[in-house]
Chain A
Amino acid sequence: MEDQPSILILGAGADNFQHEGELISSLIKVAFAIKKRGYRVVLVDNNSFNVAPKLTGAVDEYEMGIPTPHLVTFLIEKYRPTAILPVLGGRDALQLTEKLATTGVLNKYEVAVWGMPIATIRQINNPSLLNQTLRQINANTKKIAPVTTYAEAKAMVDEIGFPVVVRAVIPQAGSVRRIIHDYGELQTAVSDAIQHSSTNQALVQQSLAGLKEIEVIVARDKSGTMMQLAMIEDVDPIGIHAGDSMAVLPAQTLLERQIQDMRDIAFRITRKLRVIGINHVQFALDEDNDRFYVIKNSPYLDRMTTFVEQATGYPVARVCGYLYTGALLRDLRLDHGLAKHSAITEPVLDRTAIRIPVFANAELGISNHNLNTEKQSVGGVIGLGRSLVEALLKAMSELHPNFYALENLGDEILDQFLIHPSPNRLLPVLEAIRRGYLISELVELTKLDPFYLVQFKHLVSIEQMLISHPRDLDWLRKAKYWGFSDHLIGQLWHTKDFEVWRLRQINQIHRTYKTVDPSAGELDQHLSTFYSTFELENESVALNNHRALIIGAGPRRLGNGTANDYLLTRATAELKRQGYQIIVIEDNPNSTLLLRELANKTYLEPRDLEHINAVVALEKPEVILSFADQTNLKSLPAVQGGKIKLISIGSAKVTEPSQRGISYQFNAFFDGQYTYPLGLTRLTLADDGIKSEFAPDPPADFGSKMINAGEVAIAKCTQPGIYQLSLRIVDGKLVKGKVTTPASWELAFLSVTTGLDLAAVLIRLQLNKFNGRLLRAASQRKVDQPTYFEAVMPYSFLHLRRAAQLDQMLGACVE
């Protein structure tokens, strides 16, 4: 329809340290809601793993590119949107929107901004402006001021004292945030920050390190109605970036008075800033004097949005989407089984949810890397349980750490680990408890709230009882009740996970499933997301008809970035088209597999064999789809019994020394008989980055030689599939490498460049339902499709100097 109003959504670009896939899944939910309200959605983004344009009905127009002022102005001219939506593109989108307002583009084309007024965007982009507003409404803030010289910084520190935090105003990439303890450090920090600032200013601020960190999440509609969606407590104190901290919902250690006071302030700020949709207000709570400070205000969707959504069962992003269009909370009717007026009923939990950050330190070979105010984690995992310990252990099982790795560590080194938290900081705490450290000592050393330490102590006490009671059924029951995995119990009993599982089977120690219900059982709702525990009542009833179980890709890690999620999502969409009911097991709250448009049923559970096996036993799927490297599924009893067909997609790829420099890949689909070329790619694997180019122009007549060599080599494959032959030109000669399957990121890139649904091709192939139709479109490639792929590597964010490795990719963009 010509006269249907359009909305332009600013995408976030390649995943990096700031975002890890959550903006894509939120974008899709928001887009569905906006479209439901009668708008056309135009998306501009260049994240190579953004699955939104490929999902039926999510976006109407997709413009591939980095949202720059130039491009967005062009798109505004092209589509003449009613409004732009800058809340799904992180801070960059807000800065861009401010520029468009300042340069008059928005006025000229009469484009509204959804989510908040421009005046608010200005304040979010400039902390000192925001602080003025916060002071007007009597919200405490830390002392903060921009400086342009060291002398100014020194004068300020003379007044407020050390420690202080120094960072850049409107920072550029690679900028640093540091806690500074003396004048020597101050000098370098200030000059670094000034250098990395777009305005040549450094911000000096009072440090709140050691205080408790709380995040209040508020929704507000156009009429001013506000509700609290969540109050999240960070287990780790301020001084560790919120993204690197374990976060718990609901808050566990706050007094009622503190809760209500923070709620009041969060409401006041959200009202003052006239935010529509979601607003996150972060507080630092000083328990010694009950003072709290507002430390951050973020009126946009972020990683906590997806965490809250999965933890509460309240469809945060979808509701936000409706609110942006001007809908009122009281009028919203949510589908997917939610009761009437559930949109305006504040979510309450009868479970505990925890988000644990996932680090890449092991993959990067970094040891002794302490956590600080700069984010270092690359992903996050959610654990749901009926107790904190259960939620924690479930989330931890995704990380499969060795709980006893620190057994032989000297006390002094252990103390250092306790004082200077590093990734997996729980392990030294557990070790210290095993060694008999007192709670009061640990409070001193770790700055953790005693409540958490006492829960950890409880965990250790169960562990000790398991050790002293091998194969004891009472303790087995208790351990399962508190969330111990078969694996952990097996470790303590020096037996195999399988043996523990068998002992449970014999003695009927089974898990039950509880609904992720935002009303804690009060309202009659028909919801389809579950988590397990060991209790009386089971609420999950197996689906009928054809069922496919999808094993999610888990938290974002280095390697393929979110490419696996991209492929699994497209593959799942294909399974749905093939008539399967979709059951998903996933513990990454950001995953697009969790979309209600896709999954008929979701288990927010760890992706280990124990939990997969339990879901398989209940749901009896005919097909299990997983990421290809998850080979352990073959040992599932039902799979061994031949009742389930395993299918998979994607794979990881490591850098082989021979691949460094420039190499070519001939990519093709092989149906067992014929080879269908998908095109050549040129991979540039340089120390400073990784790039791939589609349909490159190889020198001289190498192009046709490559195609010939590729077709010959791939025709020799025995199994149908998508393959690539790696090729190089050495001393003017073509050198052939091995035939391999493309890595997940390559498959995703090829899907985007060729416009083919390669995930669907692979799925149909494995279901023996393949026909050539899907590939016929290959020749009709549109010209405006991307040709270049560029990886985002983690090194500069972590201040590392490394040669780029394929298996350390964090995200990627295409153009």
Chain B
Amino acid sequence: MKWGGILSARYLILEDGSVFSGEGFGSPAVTFGELVFNTSMAGYQELITNPVYFNQIVVFTQPNVGNLALQRNVYETITPSIKGVIVRNLAQFEATGPRQVSLDQYLNQMNIPGITNIDTRALVHRLKVAEKPLRGSIVPVPDDHAFDQLHATVLTNQQVAQVATPKPYPNPDVGLTVVVIDFGLKNGILRELSRRKCNVTVLPYTATATEILRLDPDGVVLSSGPGDPKNVKKSVLKMIQEIQTRVPLFGIGLGHELFAMANGAKTKQLAVEHHGMNHPIKEIITDQIVYASQAEGYQVERESVDRQRLYVTYVDLLDNSVQGLRHRQYPAFAVQFFPDGAPGPDETNSLFDEFMEMMRQGGER
């Protein structure tokens, strides 16, 4: 019988000099990226295709990944921008239907390298003691040359420009008209708006307030996306300052960070990024606890929130971070987590309904 586990030897090297040996899957290419770990126990397909992982290599703490064939209806983007996938076990997989594609095949097609048989728990411990996200590389030989290349590699800080759409495109429906500003849009947001019959136009993140208002939207969504909000063009903040005075605004993830900055708050980089869906998040007004998908390398500094303009709506109980903000004067709010789930709990899904309600009231005004 053929041994089902022979993959080529691959190594994960980190900029602190450590080497983990494993076996490669997906693309055999050499890859570089920042390492982050995600503690979600399901939804690897959605996670891998989330554009928020541009320039990042994701470590899955759940040991078995790739258990099922890929599902055609749950991609979060068409062309994933994740730099690599690190797992303890790439699940043994056999197609049981003609059109089934395994994670291994998919990553190969998408030119994304993966490495399996890694002591991911040891790796997480390593990442946790680092002062900032460690960079790493998946290579065929862990020699000096590989380390030289890793040290020499400069990762772009213009992540949004790399993943966001350069051109506007419509997603027509019969309901309220919504403009989505794409900072690295994840399909979940479009899915939630579709479910609510919104007539959506997605605009590049460079869109000006004038260009947006020309479409006369009932509301504007600032999408999630990768990277440091400080590296996003300053004109975006101006756009937000203008738009929030005119139509209802809903920011998510990076959109939340930008909304905060546009209203005077500061953001900070986390020493250890937080990716998962198990943190208790308190909704301050109702005192309810919710759980939601989170993928955070940057957060809004709580002390920097200008109480005259904004108030905090959600707080993560574990790290005390700001998870939601609302404007005092304008119908504008934002959350750090992903209310569209995919993957993740649906408990905060109703925020889209709240946004709908806000838009309907805005229409009557």
Which residues does A use to contact B, with CB under 8 Å? 223-228, 250-257, 259-260, 263-264, 267, 329-330, 340-341, 344-352, 386-388, 436, 439-440, 443, 450-451, 454-455, 457-458, 460-462, 464-465, 478, 481, 514, 519-523, 535-537
Chain B residues with CB under 8 Å of A264's CB are 346
Tell me if A260 and B344 are in contact (CB < 8 A).
yes
Tell me if B342 and A256 are in contact (CB < 8 A).
yes
Min CB gap B191→A, angstroms: 11
Tell me if B4 and A458 are in contact (CB < 8 A).
yes
Q: With an 8 A cutoff between CB atoms, is B31 at the interface?
A: no
Q: With an 8 A cutoff between CB atoms, is B61 at the interface?
A: yes
Q: With an 8 A cutoff between CB atoms, is B40 at the interface?
A: yes
Find B42's partner among A251, A329, A519 (CB 8 Å cutoff): A251
Q: Which one of A256, A267, A450, A455 has the greatest number of beta carbons of chain B within 10 Å?
A: A256
A463: nearest chain-B partner, CB-CB: B1
A226: nearest chain-B partner, CB-CB: B289
Chain B residues with CB under 8 Å of A257's CB are 74
Q: How many Å lie between the Cα of A443 and that of B95 in the bound state?
A: 12
Chain A residues with CB under 8 Å of B318's CB are 340-341, 345, 523
Chain B residues with CB under 8 Å of A252's CB are 64, 67
Q: With an 8 A cutoff between CB atoms, is B140 at the interface?
A: no
Chain A residues with CB under 8 Å of B64's CB are 252, 352, 387-388
Q: How many Å lie between the Cα of A535 and that of B280 in the bound state?
A: 31
Find A345's partner among B1, B89, B279 (CB 8 Å cutoff): B279
Find A341's partner among B74, B88, B128, B317 (CB 8 Å cutoff): B317
Q: With an 8 A cutoff between CB atoms, is B308 at the interface?
A: no
Question: Which B317-356 residues have a C-beta within 8 angstroms of A?
Answer: 317-318, 341-347
Find B4's partner among A387, A457, A481, A535 (CB 8 Å cutoff): A457
- A-B pairs, top 8 by smallest CB distance, nearest first, are A537-B122, A346-B278, A520-B61, A521-B124, A535-B119, A256-B43, A536-B119, A350-B61
Chain A residues with CB under 8 Å of B278's CB are 345-348, 519
Q: With an 8 A cutoff between CB atoms, is B2 at the interface?
A: yes
Tell me if B341 and A260 are in contact (CB < 8 A).
yes
Q: With an 8 A cutoff between CB atoms, is B309 at the interface?
A: no
Chain A residues with CB under 8 Å of B43's CB are 256, 259
Tell me if A224 and B288 are in contact (CB < 8 A).
yes
Q: With an 8 A cutoff between CB atoms, is B93 at the interface?
A: yes
Question: Which B33-81 residues have a C-beta within 8 angstroms of A?
Answer: 37, 39-43, 45-46, 61-64, 67-68, 71, 74
- The answer to whether residues A521 and B61 also contact, given A387-B89, A454-B92, A461-B4 and a CB cut-off of 8 A, is yes
Tell me if B62 and A250 are in contact (CB < 8 A).
yes
Chain A residues with CB under 8 Å of B345's CB are 260, 263
Min CB gap A341→B, angstroms: 5
Q: How many Å lie between the Cα of A224 and that of B290 in the bound state?
A: 11
Chain A residues with CB under 8 Å of B342's CB are 256
Tell me if B1 and A464 are in contact (CB < 8 A).
yes
A-B contact pairs, 14 of them (CB 8 A): A225-B289, A250-B62, A253-B68, A259-B42, A259-B343, A260-B343, A350-B63, A439-B96, A454-B92, A455-B91, A455-B92, A461-B4, A521-B124, A537-B122
Tell me if A450 and B96 are in contact (CB < 8 A).
yes
- The answer to whether residues A535 and B67 also contact, given A344-B317, A348-B40, A440-B96 and a CB cut-off of 8 A, is no
Tell me if B282 and A330 are in contact (CB < 8 A).
yes
Min CB gap A12→B, angstroms: 32
Q: With an 8 A cutoff between CB atoms, is B121 at the interface?
A: yes
Min CB gap A404→B, angstroms: 16
Chain B residues with CB under 8 Å of A522's CB are 37, 39, 61, 124, 128, 274, 276
Q: How many Å lie between the Cα of A723 and that of B122 in the bound state?
A: 52
Min CB gap B258→A, angstroms: 27
Q: How many Å lie between the Cα of A455 and that of B341 in the bound state?
A: 29
Chain B residues with CB under 8 Å of A387's CB are 63-64, 88-89
- The answer to whether residues A537 and B121 also contact, given A454-B93, A461-B1 and a CB cut-off of 8 A, is yes
Q: How many Å lie between the Cα of A330 and that of B320 in the bound state?
A: 13
Find B89's partner among A225, A340, A386, A454 (CB 8 Å cutoff): A386
Q: With an 8 A cutoff between CB atoms, is B173 at the interface?
A: no
Which residues does B use to contact A, with CB under 8 Å? 1-5, 20, 37, 39-43, 45-46, 61-64, 67-68, 71, 74, 88-89, 91-94, 96, 117, 119-122, 124-125, 128, 274, 276-280, 282, 287-289, 291, 317-318, 341-347
Q: How many Å lie between the Cα of A395 and that of B96 in the bound state?
A: 28
Min CB gap A530→B, angstroms: 12
Chain A residues with CB under 8 Å of B42's CB are 250-251, 254, 256, 259
Q: How many Å lie between the Cα of A733 and that of B72 in the bound state?
A: 84
Tell me if B124 and A520 are in contact (CB < 8 A).
yes
Tell me if A348 and B93 are in contact (CB < 8 A).
no
Tell me if A514 and B96 are in contact (CB < 8 A).
no
Tell me if A227 and B291 are in contact (CB < 8 A).
yes
Q: How many Å lie between the Cα of A465 and that of B1 in the bound state?
A: 8
Min CB gap A224→B, angstroms: 7
Chain B residues with CB under 8 Å of A462's CB are 3, 5
Additional pairs, 13, CB under 8 Å, beyond known A263-B346, A345-B279, A348-B40 = A228-B291, A256-B45, A259-B42, A260-B346, A267-B347, A330-B280, A345-B280, A346-B291, A349-B62, A386-B88, A387-B64, A454-B93, A455-B91
Find B280's partner among A227, A352, A451, A481 (CB 8 Å cutoff): A227
Tell me if B125 and A330 are in contact (CB < 8 A).
no
Chain B residues with CB under 8 Å of A436's CB are 1
Min CB gap A93→B, angstroms: 30
- The answer to whether residues A536 and B94 also contact, given A252-B67, A253-B68, A350-B63 and a CB cut-off of 8 A, is no
Chain B residues with CB under 8 Å of A256's CB are 42-43, 45-46, 74, 341-343
- The answer to whether residues A461 and B39 also contact, given A256-B46, A387-B64, A520-B62 and a CB cut-off of 8 A, is no
Chain A residues with CB under 8 Å of B92's CB are 454-455, 457-458
Chain A residues with CB under 8 Å of B279's CB are 345
Q: How many Å lie between the Cα of A520 and that of B274 in the bound state?
A: 13
Q: How many Å lie between the Cα of A522 and that of B88 in the bound state?
A: 16
- The answer to whether residues A348 and B280 also contact, given A225-B288, A256-B343, A451-B68 and a CB cut-off of 8 A, is no
Chain A residues with CB under 8 Å of B274's CB are 522
Chain B residues with CB under 8 Å of A329's CB are 280, 289
Chain A residues with CB under 8 Å of B63's CB are 350-352, 386-387
Chain A residues with CB under 8 Å of B39's CB are 348, 350, 519-522
Q: How many Å lie between the Cα of A523 and that of B96 in the bound state?
A: 39
Q: How many Å lie between the Cα of A344 and that of B42 in the bound state?
A: 20
Chain B residues with CB under 8 Å of A521's CB are 37, 39, 61, 121, 124-125, 128
B274: nearest chain-A partner, CB-CB: A522
Tell me if B40 and A536 are in contact (CB < 8 A).
no
Min CB gap B323→A, angstroms: 14
Chain B residues with CB under 8 Å of A352's CB are 63-64
- The answer to whether residues A350 and B3 also contact, given A225-B289, A330-B280, A344-B317 and a CB cut-off of 8 A, is no
Chain B residues with CB under 8 Å of A251's CB are 41-42
Tell me if B280 and A341 are in contact (CB < 8 A).
yes
Tell me if A460 and B1 are in contact (CB < 8 A).
yes
Chain A residues with CB under 8 Å of B5's CB are 458, 461-462, 478
Min CB gap B93→A, angstroms: 6
Q: How many Å lie between the Cα of A218 and that of B239 in the bound state?
A: 44
- The answer to whether residues A255 and B122 also contact, given A264-B346, A344-B317 and a CB cut-off of 8 A, is no
Chain A residues with CB under 8 Å of B41's CB are 250-251, 348-349
Q: Which one of B20, B274, B288, B291 has the greatest number of beta carbons of chain A within 10 Å?
A: B291
Q: How many Å lie between the Cα of A786 and that of B5 in the bound state?
A: 60
Chain B residues with CB under 8 Å of A458's CB are 4-5, 92
Q: Which one of A228, A347, A451, A457 has the greatest number of beta carbons of chain B within 10 Å?
A: A451
Tell me if B289 and A227 are in contact (CB < 8 A).
yes
Chain A residues with CB under 8 Å of B124's CB are 350, 520-522
Find A514's partner among B74, B121, B128 (CB 8 Å cutoff): B121
Tell me if B94 and A350 are in contact (CB < 8 A).
no
Chain A residues with CB under 8 Å of B88's CB are 350, 386-387
Chain A residues with CB under 8 Å of B68's CB are 253, 255, 451
Find B317's partner among A228, A259, A330, A351 (CB 8 Å cutoff): A330
